[in-house]
Structure 1
Amino acid sequence: MVSYCFERNSVKFNIDDLIPTKKPPINVKNSKKYLQIKKSINSIGIIEPIVVYLDSKLGKVKILDGHLRIEALKELGETEAICLVSTIYDTYTPNSKVSRITIIQEQKMIRKALKSGVSIEKLSEALGISIDILKGKINLLDGIDPEAVNLLANQNVPKATFYALRKMKNIRQIECACIMNNMENYSEKFSLSLLHNTQPNLLVDGQQGNDKEGHRKTIDRLEREMAQVHIESEKLKESYGENTLRLVIMKSHIQKLLENTKILHWLLDNKNELLVELKKITNINSLTK
């Protein structure tokens, strides 16, 4: 049986009846995020409903997610808000388990909005960014091969990386996108190293910043070393969960032993150096230390 985390229908509440569950940061109304939320609500209204919980014991409606949206609505003179009613009191999940869109997904959404008839001025006002910045987002993938775009679609890739890829021909863009995925490295520096290691015939302008043989060998060696590091890190990931469980069990067992006064006194009298090491183990909080 699947249980629902929210009521099926949204409910409209008076904003004054909504009780916050946390205090907003100092000067939050001057932050870029708050101003963007306010402009978006003022232009197109609430897109994502406020999440609330009905506390039957206290007879209150508590805000689980959407504190900034509520503050923006108040400042805009609104008196009511559409809310999703949660069936459980959980302030952690709505605020932390958020699926952030990547720069490629954002670009596709902007293009789709413009294609549907939304003017660039209206979109600029709703997003709280200038028209010039918006145009830069729209043209971000110009010159990038569609296959390379698909390979990087779900990754957090900085803009500068696309500028480097744009200087390469399509087949090299795809190859570099695969390398980035294998290395899990999408940084500007890594993309520039790939660009400098690209043969002149695979560059759009046919030129290469540095085609010395020694430089190419160095880049090749670095790529091999990074590939080896990636393989080793994957092996560590596979055993990390099991090793963490073992650590927790060991810590619990040692802690119980040290709580026994007879064992503790015996260790103090006979194996003091062992007692010191056992206490160190009980103080370990993570395998990364």
Structure 2
Amino acid sequence: MARHNKVTMAFEPEGIRIALTDILPVKQLAPSTKTGRKYKQIAASIREIGLIEPLVVTRQKGHRGAYLLLDGHVRLQILKDFGAQDTMCLIATDDESFTYNKRISRLATIQEHKMILKAIESGVPEDRIAKALDINVAMIRRKRHLLDGICPEVADLLKDRHCPIETFRSLKQLKPIRQVEVAQLMVTMNNYSVPYSRTLLAATPVDQLVDAKKPKIAKGVSPEQMARMEAEMDSLQREMKQVEASYGEDQLNLVIAGAYVSSLLRNEQVVKHLDLHHAEILNEFRRITEVVGDAADGSDEGDLPIVERA
């Protein structure tokens, strides 16, 4: 006979407006919260365009009309500071108070660029966008023109990455083929920092620069050191490509070997034997299973998105 598991809804079907006085926070904000950058950004967003994401609350058992706040403590405080009387809330059916922030990812740089472009195309003035994001208009314009001079292949490689704007500035000084090479190297190394992008720019031969006549700026580096850096960078790229060619197969073999070792360690007799006669091998087996487990489970939680999240 087939079993039918009942699916329980995580939230009540309809959101409702709740008086702020009926919402009980489950934690206290630190005194320094209001001076932080995130608080100011969220406040600017709510002031300019209103509350985007409702608070998440659950009904307080034994107290009719009272609610426990599960997510949105900063938003609640800002609403109180603005003098709001009530707000829209989602009603969770469980009082599990894990942080919802850990289930989201911060807005990537190129995604933010596209969001700004769409807002401008929809008729939203640049100054209002700047106020909503709590940044100046000049920064909005820089973000608006983020991909000017960036080839489509690089934009696709970095579309989900958190790259500083200055990193794109370094990329724009490279010809398309070199842009792709540098972007691939940054993805492989998982390093999108400004110093790293500038190092790759400095190690780029003049004939691969957009402006070949413009001297490369590298303070404190002699021409001989620059030439050696370029040669070492070319060698590193070749080695990286060789590693990439066998990475998939090596990773598969590692997972298979790790699974086999894990199955051995689940056998009590094998573990007892190794513990008595080969303790060093047992320790190595345990380290292997830990490494494989970390590789399988590892993921980026991500930071908060730029607008209204706390």
Q: Smaller-chain TM-score range? A: 0.7 to 0.9
TM value normalised by structure 1: 0.77
TM value normalised by structure 2: 0.72
Q: Are the structure 2 counterparts of residues 191 and 231 from structure 1 closer, same or farther at C-alpha, using a change threshold of 3 Å?
A: farther
CA distance in 2, matches of 1:248, 1:65: 41
Matched, 1:5 2:10: yes
Secondary structure of 1:19's aligned partner: strand
More relative contact order, 1 or 2 (CA 8 Å, 6+ apart): 2
> Gapped runs of 5+ residues in structure 2?
1-5, 217-222, 295-310
> Gapped runs of 5+ residues in structure 1?
258-266
Stretch moving more, 178-187 or 25-34 = 178-187
Stretch moving more, 71-80 or 117-126 = 117-126
1:80 to 81, 86, 89: 86
RMSD of aligned Cα (Å): 3.8
User: How far did residue 139 of structure 1 move?
Assistant: 2.5
Q: Are the structure 2 counterparts of residues 225 and 121 from structure 1 closer, same or farther at C-alpha, using a change threshold of 3 Å?
A: same
Q: Say if 2:113 and 2:144, in contact at 8 Å, map to a contact too.
A: yes
Q: How does 1:145-160 map to 2 (within 5 A)?
A: 145-160=151-166
* Aligned residue number for residue 219 of structure 2: none
Matched, 1:223 2:228: no
Summarize deviations over 1:178-206 as a string: whole Å, max 9, x none. 33333333233332343234333321101
Q: Say if 1:10 and 1:82, in contact at 8 Å, map to a contact too.
A: yes
Matched residues, number: 274
* Aligned residue number for residue 59 of structure 2: 54
Q: Say if 2:24 and 2:68, in contact at 8 Å, map to a contact too.
A: yes
Q: Say if 2:143 and 2:165, in contact at 8 Å, map to a contact too.
A: no
Q: Say if 1:35 and 1:128, in contact at 8 Å, map to a contact too.
A: yes
CA distance in 2, matches of 1:126, 1:41: 8
Q: How does 1:93-242 map to 2 (within 5 A)?
A: 93-207=99-213, 209=216, 214-226=228-240, 235=250, 239=254
Summarize deviations over 1:81-116 as a string: whole Å, max 9, x none. 101112222222513111211111111111211111
Stretch moving more, 174-183 or 225-234 = 225-234
Summarize deviations over 1:206-245 as a string: whole Å, max 9, x none. 1463696543321122334555677898756984798599
Q: Say if 2:14 and 2:90, in contact at 8 Å, map to a contact too.
A: yes
1:65 to 61, 71, 80: 71
Q: Say if 1:183 and 1:230, in contact at 8 Å, map to a contact too.
A: no
Matched, 1:44 2:49: yes
Stretch moving more, 169-178 or 115-124 = 169-178
CA distance in 2, matches of 1:29, 1:244: 49
User: How far did residue 168 of structure 1 move?
Assistant: 0.9
Secondary structure of 1:40's aligned partner: helix
Q: Say if 1:193 and 1:219, in contact at 8 Å, map to a contact too.
A: no
Percent of counterpart pairs with the same letter?
Answer: 33
Q: Are the structure 2 counterparts of residues 250 and 166 from structure 1 closer, same or farther at C-alpha, using a change threshold of 3 Å?
A: same
Q: Are the structure 2 counterparts of residues 198 and 20 from structure 1 closer, same or farther at C-alpha, using a change threshold of 3 Å?
A: same
Secondary structure of 1:48's aligned partner: coil
CA distance in 2, matches of 1:141, 1:225: 29
User: How far did residue 37 of structure 1 move?
Assistant: 1.4
Q: Are the structure 2 counterparts of residues 30 and 232 from structure 1 closer, same or farther at C-alpha, using a change threshold of 3 Å?
A: farther
CA distance in 2, matches of 1:148, 1:141: 9
Q: Say if 1:183 and 1:226, in contact at 8 Å, map to a contact too.
A: no
CA distance in 1, matches of 2:92, 2:253: 36
Stretch moving more, 109-118 or 234-243 = 234-243
* Aligned residue number for residue 299 of structure 2: none
